[in-house]
Amino acid sequence: MRNDCPPKPLAVAAALSLLLVGCQQFDQQLPFELAPGEGATSQIGLAGGTVSLPPSFSLEIPANALPSPTTVAVGRLIMQPFPGDAGLPVPGSAYEVGPVGTTLSRSAVVRIRVDPALIEAGTEARLSLAVLGDDSVVTTYRSTLDLTNGMLVAEVDELGPMAVVVQLDAIALLAGVPDSLLGGFFPLPPAPVPSPAGPATAPSHGGVLFTGACAPRQRQCFSSGMIRLWADDVVTKHVGEDLFLADGRVEASLEFFDFVGGVPQAVVGEVKLAGDLRVKLKRTIARYDLAEASTTGATTDPLPTTVRFESGKVMVFGLTTSVSGPIVESNYDYAANYGFEGIGTSEMLVLRIETGLEFELADRTYERGMIVTHLRLRR
């Protein structure tokens, strides 16, 4: 059934979060060499334990993280310059942690002290922990950083060479107001293409399909320009303009069909946006976990639903399900400002997604600001 509530913008409310997850990077190696005489070992059993190199490094492994008693070794590494897109290493922050390739069934806590004098101003919010696996895959883990003592903390699920890096694929906030999205006419569906067997065929519902997908791997979200960010005056007043989206991820597919007079009457698909909004606040790094999915239809699996257009530049999806963290809302109409862009011979559908951020004031009331994201989906 259609919910009688008025349409609401395609939006998410981001809450402060310290959820620590990883994203894989395949585009580089970490050519480390072990520094002589700087190491420690510890026999860690099923009860867990800690191995450390005071005062700069510690690894706390919880109970039942290892399948059997294991000798865990830590050594400081001499880090050589290396190319790549995952991040620039902070000098003096690299360690060999082994046995390399050991997978943990429960996340371990890594603490690395970084010399604040070696952190370039303006890069603090982009610091992450990089771990090189035995398969030559680099994984960056979201981290917390205390700028007072230079301690970076992350949770990892594997052992291997580790280094603190400045992520190069973090997407910076754009200045000014968001670009205007002016709507536009949808391209007509392609003509059915004869299949080798003879009958004419068309993908899915025979409509016009727009898709987009990017992940931290090989800087896809950054280099593709699929994600663009702006903030309103409320957000910049509280946190400034040095806001970044790290570990951005997009999975989107929308097919428009049942055209009448050149206008689609139905749509099926989903839009997923996730990432880690980071900003430097005084002597700490604040983060807002962004994880949202909107699906056409009354379930979390995409089902066809109606689409209508208002004011020439707003599309309204009927009967939509939204999942934001543990909160599930369904049977809502979602309104999204949209527009079209042409890049070469390709057409791009641009969707506006609004992310609300709440800031607590001195009188215990809240002020609500907004992050605006434009997602560019390719036909």
Question: Using one digit for the tens of pLDDT, what is the confidence trace for 355-377?
Answer: 888 888 999 999 999 999 999 99
Can you spell out the DSSP letters for 10-63?
A: SEEE-EE-----EEEE-S----EEEEEEEEEEEEE-TT-EEEEETTTEEEEEPT
User: Which tens digits make up the pLDDT trace of 297-320?
Assistant: 888 889 999 999 998 899 999 888
pLDDT for the residue 38: 64
Instruction: Compute the C-alpha angle 155/161/162, nearest 5°.
Output: 45
Q: Which residues of the chain have pLDDT under 50?
A: 1-35, 80-85, 198-202
All structural domains of the chain: 8-16+171-378 (no CATH), 32-79+87-166 (2.60.220.30)
Measured between alpha carbons, how far is 34 from 144 in angstroms, rounded to an integer? 26
pLDDT for the residue 196: 52
pLDDT for the residue 23: 43
Tell me the two tokens of residue 28.
Answer: 């580089």
